[in-house]
Structure 1
């Protein structure tokens, strides 16, 4: 089985926040970005530690390296979940006072630390990871919208997950895609709507990719439909298409589960909520280009402003809807 590897260029290089050989400095910076913890290197040797990261209200994505045998001891995280995707080297994770253990290896596995349990993580010198922090509020609200019921207790994510197949591979792919778009000049870092959509997708991929007490609810079929919910969501989309809307947020607005909303849209409009939102935003881009002056209006800028990440895919969707390329609309 082939294993996906990261590009030679260091992820998130333009977002560096730490480069140090000092254990105390590394502990301080990683605490500020993630959570309080104790950090020790084997034999007190210096580190070759680096951290590049970006943060939003939905998640913190970091590329973390210690460059030495390192051990982290963490109390319960309280307000967040921490997810490590091991890219190279190996780590060992324990939770619940050592009653749960797992090892991770580069490109093959990852691990999750919980809000309500202490944990330890040891790194080999060559270990590199995507280190991700997910605040409890946004993640648990997102899950509640997906399953149509409130989530009141911390999620009991499994201690480790496979990154090479199935939903775990989808999670790795989603994180890698988010990182690539953040690193790409002119990418989603400059398009808040698009970035919110990708970050929400990463949250969904996590909830499907790592087992927890609500996994069966996520997979359970739903046959209920709600015509009134479709009307409410259509009206909301028309009034708020310029905001970072997600399908779970739309479902919460309508008071139904994501699956029920999707079924209702399919039966009454013949499209998904995401497709309807995309169609509305295509229409808004079209209006901007019709009114725009080619001298000071950019197709790329207007597409990004309305949440479209891939310009080539946007151009094809635009052509299918309006019969011309967006550049032709602007020139005419």
Structure 2
């Protein structure tokens, strides 16, 4: 009697296949559509065995990507997103800033980050497989703002490489595997929109803790040491209810302190006022909306009013100071 053959384990996200091709041009087109524009070359023009399975939301795109050949991707600055690769098998080499930064990732051992502000190049070995993840700037930077309790106005200068075998890097890999498993599991909690949003937020938090960046030391400081309870309560309330009418007296009542004490607490611990903090959070929400929107379906006025801005010329000036461009420019390049 012949031995039974064990069933083959499906690849991650196999039910969400968007590409299976040998053609370099087709692979470039599909991966550009899902992620970002780039150039793709295979060694000596050999055919690929390329596959991409992916799911996307406003917070992140999670993909399982294989090229099946020696392949090189050359990318300009990503502009509107961060890209994170978690290498599952094989090996990749990643360079940034014209080759001045470099990391080599091996299956189950390392990952790499590509930045919105810098060019990069990624070379794959034929056996390399990866979780390929895109994180739009707006939702990720807003999530960090919520964790820090203050607006984040600078791009996150993530380290080029990180360790998946231990510490917070291993936590990131575990978080992504958990999200992928729940997406693949029939009846998994990822089928419930609220549960899926919570899982995705978990992945964003794991990324911010798992890869070093300019805010890492501040993020590791316990919240109670960064801000007193009243300031923290108002920060949390503002992030949860930024689309609702909020005044300083209302925020003070929510925190159980006087308006004057709240003003003093914000000045001492954040160097701003509660009103300015609320305005900056709302500006970040508008910015994220415009980056994700289509100019044909969205107007700047509509998004500004939705987030509580009534004086549009004043809004546009605050927006320009914060993001270095007019909101209409953000919408056009979104």
TM over 0.5: yes
Q: CA deviation at 1:253?
A: 8.4
Contact kept? 1:83, 1:112, Cα under 8 Å: yes
* Aligned residue in 2 for 1:226: 229
Unaligned runs of 5+ in 2: 1-7, 247-254, 256-334
Deviation string, structure 1 residues 170-203 (Cα, Å, up to 9, x no partner)? 0000000000000000113420000000000000
Contact kept? 1:17, 1:53, Cα under 8 Å: yes
* Aligned residue in 2 for 1:261: none
Deviation string, structure 1 residues 194-218 (Cα, Å, up to 9, x no partner)? 0000000000000000000000110
* Aligned residue in 1 for 2:157: 156
Distance in 2 separating the partners of 1:149 and 1:231: 11
* Aligned residue in 2 for 1:198: 199
SS in 2 for 1:180: helix
SS in 1 for 2:171: helix
Distance in 2 separating the partners of 1:48 and 1:38: 17
Equivalent runs, 1:1-332 vs 2, <5 Å: 8-221=9-222, 222-223=224-225, 224-226=227-229, 249-250=239-240
Distance in 1 separating the partners of 2:156 and 2:12: 29
SS in 1 for 2:194: helix
Contact kept? 2:84, 2:113, Cα under 8 Å: yes
Contact kept? 1:37, 1:74, Cα under 8 Å: yes
Unaligned runs of 5+ in 1: 1-6, 237-247, 256-263, 265-332
Distance in 2 separating the partners of 1:8 and 1:92: 27
SS in 2 for 1:97: helix
SS in 2 for 1:62: strand
Contact kept? 1:143, 1:207, Cα under 8 Å: yes
- TM-score (norm. length: structure 2): 0.67
Contact kept? 1:78, 1:116, Cα under 8 Å: yes
Distance in 2 separating the partners of 1:133 and 1:195: 17
- TM-score (norm. length: structure 1): 0.68
Coordinate RMSD, CA, aligned: 2.3
From the superposition, tell whether residues 42 and 145 of structure 1 become closer, same or farther in structure 2 (CA, over 3 Å). Answer: same
Contact kept? 1:145, 1:252, Cα under 8 Å: no
Distance in 2 separating the partners of 1:249 and 1:173: 27
SS in 1 for 2:88: strand
Distance in 1 separating the partners of 2:173 and 2:231: 37
